[in-house]
Every structure is written in C-alpha cells, then in structure tokens.
Amino acid sequence: MANMKRIAELAGVSLGTVSHVLNGTARVREPLRERVLNAVHETGYQPSQLARGLRRDKTNILAMIVPDILNPFFPGVVRGAEDVAFANGFRLVLCNTDNDHKKELVHLNALQTYLPSGLIVIPSDFSDLTAQAESYRKSGAAVVCVDRLPRNWAGDSVTSDNAVGAFNATSYLIDLGHRRLAVITGPLHLTNSQDRLKGFKRAVRQAGLEIAPAYAQEATFDRAGGYAKTKILLRLLPRPTAILACNDMIALGALMAVREEKLNCPDDISIIGFDGLDVTETTTPQLSSVYQSSYQLGAEAVQLALDRFADTSSPVRHIVLKTELKIRESVAPPPKLESANGTGSAKRLRLAAVRA
C-alpha cells in the first residue's frame, strides 16, 4: 500500500507538505500541490478516514438515519442528501430504523464512533433525540432533523409546509362543491401528520363546514393503513364524496378500497394524496396530490448541516419548503352535480377540474 512517505518521495516534497495537501490544514503553492496530487494518483493512495478523523476529531462522513427506506418517498430524500454531500467532499453513511425508536438509538450510538461531521435524521415514531443530539453537538457535529420533528426539538430542521399543502388541497375540493369531506391522517404523534390535519381543519372551518369525528381517520403511512381506513369511511352514512389522504401510500390504499367496493374514482368519490410520488402518474385514475420535493428536503438538510459544521455559533434555522397542488384525474365535482347537470355537464366539469 502506498503511504504518505512514498508520495513525498515521488513528489519531491516534505511529509508536511503532503499532509497539508491531503488534509487541507494549510495553503500549499499550486505547483507543489499538483505534484502531490499527481503522486497520489500514480500510487492510488487512499487515506484512512478514521485515522484522519482521529487526528482532526472529525471525518468527512455525514451520517443519515431514515425510518423506512422501502417507503418510496425517502429514497428521494437520501439522493438529495448524497448528491450535496458528495459535491462537498463528504460521504454519506445511511441507516434504516424501521420506525423503531429502540433501533434508532442503537444506530445513533454506533454512528458516533465514526466521528461524523454531521447527522441528518428523519425521526422514527415516538422519537426524542434531545440527549443524543446534544451529545453529537458537544463533539462538534451538526445535527439536522428532516420532514418530521421529534418532541421538543429546538435544533436545525428542514420540513415542507404541510399545513398549507393540506389547506390548499381541501380548499380545492370545497371549491368543486364537496361538502362531505373525509381525511385519513398519518400517525398523529408525528408533526407532519399533525400539521396536515391542521391544514384540513382550517379549510373546513373557513368554509363554514362541520366534519363529524368519524370522518377523520388515523392510519399508518402505508397502503394497508389507507385501505383499512377507507373501508371504514365508505361504510359511513352519508358516505363522504372526497378524501384527503395525508400521503400518497395512504391514497393508493384508498384507491384499492374504492375499487373493491365497486365504486368509481372520481365519479363516486374524489381522492387527493400528499407527496407527489412518481407512481401517482401511473395509477388509474392518475392520482391528484400535494407535491413536496423529497430531493430538495435531503439537499437542503445536508447543506444546512455543512453550514452548521462550519459555524456552530449561527442562529438555529428552520427551513420550510413550499408545496404544490397537482390536480390529475382522481378529483371531480361531487356526484350530486352529475344528477343535477346531466352526464355531459359532469364530464365537462371534471375535465375543467383536471386542467385547472
């Protein structure tokens, strides 16, 4: 294995110069720097990140923890994080918690031995990272929470504007004429679920409507949860004419339940999801959704971590990304408009809604 002494001999420089070039600890004249880099390339030298970290208290590693890598939303977050990390000379180490806080704690303790410069966390269910985050910060690492926040979180964060996104989606349904609205939330101990429910309720309240508690169902953030809760909603009398599903996986489960009950979306019931996953363009009907950029969430989180690592004294930052309502084929005016206006008028109204 090539080592720094061999590189110094090939480049005709001192060991100190090689160290400064590889570790960025001092400025080196460009001709000398080029000779060192050429020698590194010629020998195929790979510096030990752990050894460098022990000398400098930190490695060029960023740690990232996600709750469920099988959820199609999270790979986009990871990709955005990895791209920004790589562009800045950092490497991303990824761990999955399966939404288990005990497993999350195991990862948090193990990752700290890597001496990471930063930690990006999408918290698990019932997560409380206060003690662990403080331990990372005391060691000089930056800590950023993404998408959802733990209880009593007071550190840096990047989220989407969940309340506004849900408000806009619900308001759109109300503007189409829907009055029998339902919502399927994610787990309500999660801050993003709480905010989406708040947005739904604000739109309902602003329209002067009242929604019975049975029309607000809490589910897991997956198809099974959406399917089970939609089955409950479809048995209610009167049956809702529109459902706001608080993520796209819930919405996909809702579509399955609607089809199984021999109902048609959107003629019998409209559905809007939340996330804007690519799969929503391939469903039948194409699913309307509140789009949030998973990629941007990850990219902003890593940039925020790098900024915090460079300046630990700067004020805490909470970055909130805008959402966008994307209307496709899964929404239409409520069925009562079809009986009042005739089939042709209803179809024209539905097309106008899709194109809006």
What CATH class does 56-154+294-321 carry?
A: alpha beta
3-state secondary structure of 128: coil
- Under CATH, to which class is 162-291+324-355 assigned? alpha beta
pLDDT at 29: 86
Same CATH fold, 162-291+324-355 and 56-154+294-321?
Answer: yes
Q: How do residues 168-208 score in pLDDT, each as one tens digit?
A: 999 999 999 999 999 999 999 999 999 999 999 999 999 99
Which of the 8 DSSP states describes residue 287?
Answer: P
| Proportion of the chain above pLDDT 90, given as a percent | 66
The residue behind tokens 């949860």 is: 225
Beta bridge partners of 65: 95, 121
234-249: average pLDDT: 97
DSSP lists the bridge partners of residue 92 as 62
Query: Does 16 score more than 50 pLDDT?
Result: yes
- Dihedral, CA atoms, 93, 98, 103, 107, nearest 10 degrees? 10
Does the pLDDT at position 307 exceed 50?
yes
Find where tokens 């910060």 sit.
137
- Is residue 45 pLDDT above 90, yes or no? no
The residue-averaged pLDDT of 298-308 equals 95
Q: Where is mean pLDDT largest: 54-58, 229-233, 341-345?
A: 229-233
Better-scored residue on pLDDT, 197 or 58: 197
Range from 131-140, 316-325, 338-347 carrying the lowest mean pLDDT? 338-347
* Residue 172 backbone dihedrals phi, psi, to 5 degrees: -60, -45
Question: Which SS3 state, helix, strand or coil, does residue 36 take?
Answer: helix
**Cα 305 off chain centre by:** 16
pLDDT surpasses 70 at 51: no
User: Residue 328: its pLDDT value, please?
Assistant: 97
Percent of the chain scored above 70 by pLDDT?
A: 89
More confident residue, 267 or 313: 267
What pLDDT score was predicted for residue 347? 42
d(CA 135, CA 55): 20
Domain boundaries along the sequence of the chain: 4-47, 56-154+294-321, 162-291+324-355
pLDDT digit string, tens, across residues 81-119:
999 999 998 999 999 999 998 999 999 988 988 889 999
354 vs 72, residue with greater confidence: 72
Q: Taking a C-beta distance cutoff of 8 angstroms, is the pair 178, 241 a contact?
A: yes
- CB count in 10 Å sphere of residue 198: 15
**Gap between the Cα atoms of 95 and 104, Å rounded:** 9
